[in-house]
Amino acid sequence: MKSIITTILASIFLISSFAQNKVWSGDLITVPEKTNYQKTSTYAEVMSFIEAVQKESDLIHLDFMGTSKEGKKIPVAILADPKITSPEEAAASGKPVMYIQGNIHAGEVEGKEVVQMLMRDILLGDKKYLLDNQILLFAPIYNSDSNDKMEKGRRRSQEDSPVEVGMRANSQGLDLNRDGIKMEAFETNALIQNVLLKWDPEMLVDLHTTNGTWHGYSLTYAPSYHYAGEKAPYDFTWNMLFPAVVESVDKKYNVKLGPYGYYFLRSGWPPKAIATYNHHPRYLVNMMGLRNKVGILSEAFAHERFYQRINSTYAFVAEILEFTNKNGVAMAAINAKAEADAINNVIKNAGKIEKGVRFKMVPLDEKIANYRTYDYLPYTDDEGNTRYLRTGRIIEVPDVENYSKFEATVRTKLPRGYYLPKSMEFIVEHLKKHGAIITELEKNKKVNGEVFVIDSLSKARREFEGHLMATAEGTYQQQTKTFKKGDYWIDMAQPLTNLIFYMLEPQSDDGLLNWNFFDEYLEKQGVNSKPVEYPVFKTYSVE
């Protein structure tokens, strides 16, 4: 009986969601569709699907952002009308570029399948109009290596739906959604250098599946948190894009969406607050904010069945693309102004204002009027403790606080630029990989500014992503220094000024110092026994 119901629901999903009047050939049917949503695609099956679409459409160009550790090419399909084959052609078209990626965690597979379905429906179905005013970059299988390392029981919250899925980490053992600053993964380097820098997308949508709270939404969303960057892209996403998409998804698909966040039963029932993920730019969505772009996190609801998660993710992405097809040019203009504002802020206010480098999570001013969640039944156990049992009933809890805002706990002056000695060339090269503009001095130069004197450097006791995260405490001191020919100058009046600031400031909570880039130098200087100068010199004027 269960199998029959599943088949009927799956058929309804295909008919209602895609509304296609044509009969697809077998090679244009995805693996979940072929297997009654019991299986997910392998790398070879994704590539075969893309090849099948290519044979039927002249509006797709297949590129590869890079190669994984195990030698798999990471595909990026460029969809455009007329066909686009290079970033230069995309720029010349005047159309904004939008980037969607799936499978960053290879156990969270809905995005991988939805990207394939949308590719088919846009190029060969009834959604071709979504290419009228935008160019779409689709990366269905970002974590290519770990996708095929499938086992049962990897995602227990998904209740083996599908039966087997791949691993969360990549083949280097790294979480690709914690690598935005350090760029240690093959995939992160490929994404940043060959997608973000070359194609310059106005938006990144990162497709995930949550694994915790039993909220009452089929999918939750979050923006790029802007608190070390410009606010305008966040405002556009939160105040315009999300409300429009939530309304249209509900109307067209009868799917409920809500803000991403967790609550914990140990705080009592019903929930009084939810809390989002952190603001750190190690997360790719947040990093987009420091690049003056729109970032969107999509989290399908793990506790629904695979076909339901595909339905909600499809609806969310499709309606985002409906919105950007109509409003993409406006989004690009807002992003461009954010970039110009960031540069002008440096030129006008260097040395005059402070910006946050460490933050704490606080609630938004506006509460969630009616928060959807599964209800829980309180009871007293044999020891007199209050416990909770989840019911199957969805309720709405009024006036729930949304902890998705961040306030600075440590601030520091905005510089006009930074000087680094030649010995810090490895730092310079890392910043360049992110897209920073850095020049070498052509002659010796005497400059006034400040140096941060580190009084203490502490390390985390537990390893995180292969690192014992470092934290520096100290004070800035005024100095005059002479830098030599061949040393480095970073003029902060440049597009990535907010990202560079967050990466280089020694008190940042997700900068290069945190990720141990300066450990060897500082320890050689004796930081564990005496105050040591941080080797990045901060200046407030162009001399």
Q: What secondary structure, in 3-state letters, does 266-311 show?
A: HHCCCCCEEECCCCCCCCHHHHHHHCCCEEEEEEECCCCCHHHHHH
Contacts of the segment 84-90: beta carbons below 8 A, 24+ positions apart: 84/135, 85/61, 87/198, 87/199, 87/200, 90/135, 90/199
Q: How far is CA 384 from the centre of its chain?
A: 44
Please name which of 10, 244, 22 lies closest in space to residue 121, comparing C-alpha atoms: 22
**pLDDT tens-digit map of 332-343:** 999 999 999 999
DSSP class of 211: -
Return d(Cα 213, Cα 211) in angstroms, integer: 7
Return d(Cα 135, Cα 83) in angstroms, integer: 9
Return d(Cα 156, Cα 302) in angstroms, integer: 9
Return the structure tokens found at 156.
Answer: 């227990």
Q: Give residue 15's pLDDT.
A: 39
- The burial class, CB within 10 Å (0-12 / 13-18 / 19+), for 520 is exposed
Residues 6+ apart with CB under 8 A from 239: none
Please name which of 297, 207, 254 lies closest in space to residue 17, comparing C-alpha atoms: 254
Yes or no: say if 419 and 488 are a contact pair by the CB < 8 Å rule: yes
In a structure prediction context, what are the per-residue pLDDT tens digits for the chain, which is 543 residues long? 444 444 444 444 443 444 456 789 999 999 999 999 999 999 999 999 999 999 999 999 999 999 999 999 999 999 999 999 999 999 999 999 999 999 999 999 999 999 999 999 999 999 999 999 999 999 999 999 999 999 998 888 888 899 999 999 999 999 999 999 999 999 999 999 999 999 999 999 999 999 889 999 999 999 999 888 999 999 999 999 999 999 999 999 999 999 999 999 988 999 999 999 999 999 999 999 999 999 999 999 999 999 999 999 999 999 999 999 999 999 999 999 999 999 999 999 999 999 999 999 999 999 999 999 999 999 999 999 999 999 999 999 999 999 999 999 999 999 999 999 999 999 999 999 999 999 999 999 999 999 999 999 999 999 999 999 999 999 999 999 999 999 999 999 999 999 999 999 999 999 999 999 999 999 999 999 999 999 999 999 997
Beta bridge partners of 137: 78, 99
SS3 letters for 376-417? EEEEECCCCCEEEEEEEEEEEEEEEEEECEEEEEEEEECCCE
Instruction: Residue 327: count other Cβ atoms within 10 Å of its Cβ.
Output: 18
Please name which of 168, 51, 36, 31 lies closest in space to residue 113, comparing C-alpha atoms: 31
Q: What is the DSSP string of 27-48?
A: GGS-HHHHTTTS----HHHHHH
Q: Give residue 507's pLDDT.
A: 97
Return d(Cα 118, Cα 124) in angstroms, integer: 10
Report phi then psi at 412, rounded to 5.
Answer: -150, 160
Return d(Cα 35, Cα 13) in angstroms, integer: 15
- The burial class, CB within 10 Å (0-12 / 13-18 / 19+), for 480 is exposed
Return d(Cα 467, Cα 19) in angstroms, integer: 49
Write down all domains in the chain, each with its CATH number in brackets: 2-348 (3.40.630.10), 415-539 (no CATH)
Please name which of 110, 375, 384, 408 lies closest in space to residue 263, comparing C-alpha atoms: 375
**Strand extents, DSSP E, 142-255:** 151-152, 164-165, 203-209, 219-223
Q: How far is CA 440 from the centre of its chain?
A: 32
- Look up tokens 């629901």; give the residue: 9
Q: Give residue 21's pLDDT.
A: 62
